[in-house]
Chains A and B, each alone.
Chain A
């Protein structure tokens, strides 16, 4: 099963953009890239997903490299409520998720 690699932690200032990178060099052609985030003491929640093209939604944008071996989650204006652990996940068969260790995002006021 394909794995992902993310930095352990990142820091951002409030209201500035944040770019969270993820490497997934062993991704297969049918693996979707999902991003979830986990607020303290809660279960993970969906942020965004994509296959090949860049994606935008109300929460974030997802930029996928042309070779699909890496992707970047973009939060356009970080708020204090965005402080969380962000997971880059490759979706396997039967919609199974393989979580890495995630990136802990700290947002400074």
Chain B
């Protein structure tokens, strides 16, 4: 099992450019999440999905879009990059409800917008 994989590892964007951060998991998890982490801060939830075709906003969704066409993939789209989106982005997945719902995190994508 590769777990949760993210690409790219690093990216530098110019203001106004767009890009897609890729996230794939091979654990057959229905729940997937995107977080961003600014320097010295905790993670903040951007979007989440409870299954293919179902997504919803988290705490900080502005400036981002997501889609979930398959169980495995959950890409995050930045349409018009702004310096405020400079951050480390983490994707995570977990199984459905129950008392034990460990979230498995990917290694992160470090994005700089100049």
Contact = CB atoms under 8 A, between A and B. Distances in A.
B61 to A, nearest CB: 13
A7 interface: no
A45 B104 CA distance: 7
B76 interface: no
Chain B, interface size: which category?
20 to 34
Contacts of A91: 101
Contacts of A32: 99, 101
A101 B106 CA distance: 20
Among B44, B56, B99, the one with the most A-chain Cβ atoms within 10 Å of its Cβ is: B99
Contacts of B92: 43
Contacts of A45: 105
B101 A96 contact: no
B33 A102 contact: no
B90 interface: yes
Interface in A74-102: 87, 91, 94-102
Nearest to B90: A43
A95 B103 contact: yes
A44 interface: yes
A100 B42 contact: yes
Interface of A: 32, 36, 41-46, 49, 51, 87, 91, 94-102
Given A91-B101, A96-B33, 12 more contacts: A32-B101, A41-B108, A42-B107, A44-B103, A49-B100, A49-B102, A87-B42, A94-B48, A94-B97, A96-B45, A96-B48, A99-B35
9 contacts: A43-B108, A44-B90, A45-B105, A46-B102, A51-B99, A94-B97, A95-B96, A101-B40, A102-B42
Interface of B: 4, 31, 33, 35, 40-45, 48, 50, 56, 58-59, 90, 92, 94, 96-97, 99-103, 105-108
